[in-house]
Structure 1
Amino acid sequence: MTSQTPHSTTSRRLAVSAGLTVAAFAAALGTGSAAQAAPVTLPVGGEALDSALSGPGAGVTDALTNSVLGIAYLKEHQLNPLAGTGTDPLANGVATQIADFKPIGTDLVTGPLADGAALQDLPVIGGLVKALPL
């Protein structure tokens, strides 16, 4: 076996540390150059005129129209994807009756969802959703 002196151990650690620093620096430069933005191409001629005439107002109008259509879809979309299937966990209900009071159960809450209700068909918030101007 060879014995190592403290000087050789220190120089080895210094060399490893310098090598790791150089590798980290090279990796940082490599990812920086890969993340450069693509050059912007500008429209020429008639395309430039059309985009200037439509202006930013057309983009706002399109964004509002498309967002309202998305919300309208959510109002009418079936909330429970398992509704009407044999594996629907919301189709099960538990009920209880205390003394001579009217029986109460979980079917009041889960029943509409088990039947395939949309957001506008729910008992509590359905009226609020229907009132939205969509």
Structure 2
Amino acid sequence: MARHASPPTPTARRALTALATAGVALGAGAATAAADTRPAVDVVHTRPTSLGHIDPQAGVRVLTAMLPYVTGPVAGLRPNPLAGTGVDPLDNGLGTQLADFKPLTSKMVTGPVAQAPSVGALPVVGQILKG
């Protein structure tokens, strides 16, 4: 009667898989090294190519026309989702007063962001988003 070989153990199977993977990696590395034997391109002696008749203003016009469509969904988002809650970090303020000058507070900067109903309502950002 013919004797059948027993199936390999999990450890032997892992070792064979690792050996096969290493062999494939070495073969791929050797093939890549052999394929890259061509000389490098001499950048100094190449001729410049012409881009043709390209109008740079056309690209700018397309980008500015496309801007409201790309930024439109962002304009409706709330800039401060915590506004009106007890944990609003922009509701805090820090101020100082020097001599008899008008007091300066950080609420001058955080106020428009904290009170704005949407990103489009912010003073500078809203103008940019509308195009």
TM range (shorter): 0.3 to 0.5
Whichever structure has more helix as a proportion of its residues is 1
TM-score, normalising length: structure 2: 0.45
TM-score, normalising length: structure 1: 0.44
